[in-house]
Structure 1
């Protein structure tokens, strides 16, 4: 009974703090600074601390203890270069609020994820600053944070774009602006806070840069050489700030090729990465593709860079085929076929509207056949 009351107090306390946080932010607006912002940052920290304590204490065997073998990699980037086996992980869109959905997914699959992914964009908003509390929460659970960092340059509302007129799009030739140092103050703050976090971070910056349709940092707005120059500029700035705990993940889109044109070079990239998502027949441009067709056919091109490979978005929709079989086929002979793959992350998004006009559900926890298929094949990745 005491445990139940204690948990109830924790939950109610977190809810109360969260309500105060949201109300305060709404009242003071996006640009509040100084003591007011510090106060609400402190409240935010308290919510994350309560969340971390609750998740850890409610489990018979601590999640962090189960990942104790990963501890050297949490504090030493070099240890990831010789990592054994494959690091599993996930992104869940609901984990923007709480990491509990990630833990629930782990429980469904009867595993523990060494990697937990979050997404954030460049910009002036609070949520676009370095996500220190989320990073601390992830590392407290014993996992390595993976941050997909998207350079949406139009999200800056302050001095970074003050030289542009109202009609100018900062994303047009935006990578040149990065090289010219227009965003260095923002980048420097990120580098300092990343360094001070004290944990290893996988940073997937400007992913799918070779896709000419989806993201503004793609070739519709920039030359491949601009991307290479911008990548080097950011990495060099982080190095100057001694942010040596960063694993830089270069992640092109498999379908659009031209990898060499966008590759910054071996000295500037630590891991390569890519998404592997089967959209099935959900749209006129898609069809039911196997994992082999999506990823396997392009694997030699990625392997040629001689870097560890991260499959950063892994999943299949249920439209157009048997996705329990899709997962089983993907895992069959995986390590023998793809020895350079060192990370695989489930894309567990329940409301994905980033590619089609309709909302797509990549979640698997409500599909017993898929869960059984994955659970029975995960041992192949040990």
Structure 2
């Protein structure tokens, strides 16, 4: 993340979103005394006055979490500082759900089904579409970090790097800055694959890096420092000969090293074989925290074991800050509630 003068001083004056501070433990039911739902000193930050704050549901059978302190008015003119959210004390539990954020109807059903309310909600935004200010507010008001996967379907990365979409990007950056709520953003995810029009078959690593840096710089100039930048390649398994380092924009342009990786019937069977090679390669050029920006398990006999692998792997790696479960039907049914054994896992 690009350094900003006076950030430390603003951090002492600025408080962040309570549910984001109460990031969820992955191993046990959370009751009122569980630190996973406590307001931690390093992240304790009431939301702006008038913002609805969800405290989250405990696991099935657990007591409800204690309510956070009442929100206080925030200083005016102080940009939102996302620094406390970058390395949380506990891991984020995220989801991508159908209809979110245009509608939040799927959130309550999903939260009830798994016994936890996600505190990251990922959604997908077309490059030339407007910024969904109302939708991002809905996610924030539900107590979650909005995560926008920005998809340049109609513009090449080369054209973005050359500045052809600067006016559009400036408009989005200004809207994000004006909103002044925390938001995670990825650009052209899975760029090392060949299944998207911005992938390796259509764009060079130089095109990708140039586009990323140009967009990031425009956001900085607009004062949109409330963004967590998530660089999000696919795991290397489908493209083992495509190196990731040439696609990396640099540590000053990235906050989380994201990874997209799914457990499939014919793919790697353990956490380490699925994510390990990618993590090892990324660690040769970056020490940024990892974030699994998309994952799920294909329905079948291995699904419950896959989920066990996911959670045990997350526990074993302190440098992974959380994950997003892709709970949408797309080329396969990835929904956890569709299979009782999976839901139990």
Give the alignment's TM-score, normalised by structure 1: 0.67
Structure 2 CA distance, aligned partners of 1:332 and 1:224?
33
CA contact (8 A) 2:97 2:106 kept: yes
Contact 2:265 2:302 in 1 (8 A): no
Residues 59-97 of structure 1: CA deviation (Å, up to 9, x unaligned): 9x999957999xx9x942111233112111100123354
SS for the counterpart of 2:195 is coil
Q: C-alpha offsets along residues 210-246 of structure 1, whole Å, 9 cap, x if unaligned?
A: 11x2111122122211111111111001111111101
Structure 2 residue aligned with 1:195: 177
Alignment match, 1:335: 315
User: Is 1:90–1:102's contact at 8 Å kept on the other side of the alignment?
Assistant: no
Alignment match, 1:240: 221
Structure 2: gaps spanning 5 or more residues? 1-50, 58-62
**Match in the other structure for 1:105:** 110
What is the distance in 1 between the residues matched to 2:64 and 2:223? 32
Contact 1:87 1:114 in 2 (8 A): yes
CA-to-aligned-CA distance 1:113-166 (integer Å, 9 cap, x gap) = 11111111112xxxx21011110001111211001001112xxxxxxxxxxxxx
> Pairwise mapping of residues 159-238 of structure 1 onto structure 2 (< 5 A)?
171=155, 174-211=156-193, 213-238=194-219
Q: What CA distance in whole angstroms lies between the structure 1 residues aligned with 2:229 and 2:69?
A: 23
**CA–CA separation in structure 1 for the residues paired with 2:336 and 2:244:** 32
Matches within 5 A, 1:9-158: 65=67, 75-123=80-128, 128-153=129-154
2:275 aligned with 1:295, yes or no? Answer: yes
Q: State the superposition RMSD in angstroms.
A: 3.0
SS at match of 1:93: coil
Q: In terms of Rg, which structure is larger? A: 1
C-alpha distance in structure 2 between counterparts of 1:208 and 1:215, whole Å: 8
Distance 1:181 1:62, change over 3 A: farther
> Taking structure 2 as the reference length, what is the TM-score of the superposition?
0.74
Instruction: Return the alpha-carbon distance in structure 2 between the equivalents of residues 318 and 288 of structure 1.
Output: 15
Seen in structure 2, the aligned counterparts of structure 1 residues 333 and 229 have a Cα distance that, compared at 3 Å, is closer
Aligned length: 279
For residues 131 and 114 of structure 1, what CA distance do their matches in structure 2 show? 19
What is the alpha-carbon distance in structure 1 between the residues aligned to residue 180 and residue 86 of structure 2? 18
Question: Structure 1: 5+ residue runs without aligned partners?
Answer: 1-51, 154-170, 282-286, 354-359, 374-382
Distance 1:178 1:227 in 2: 9
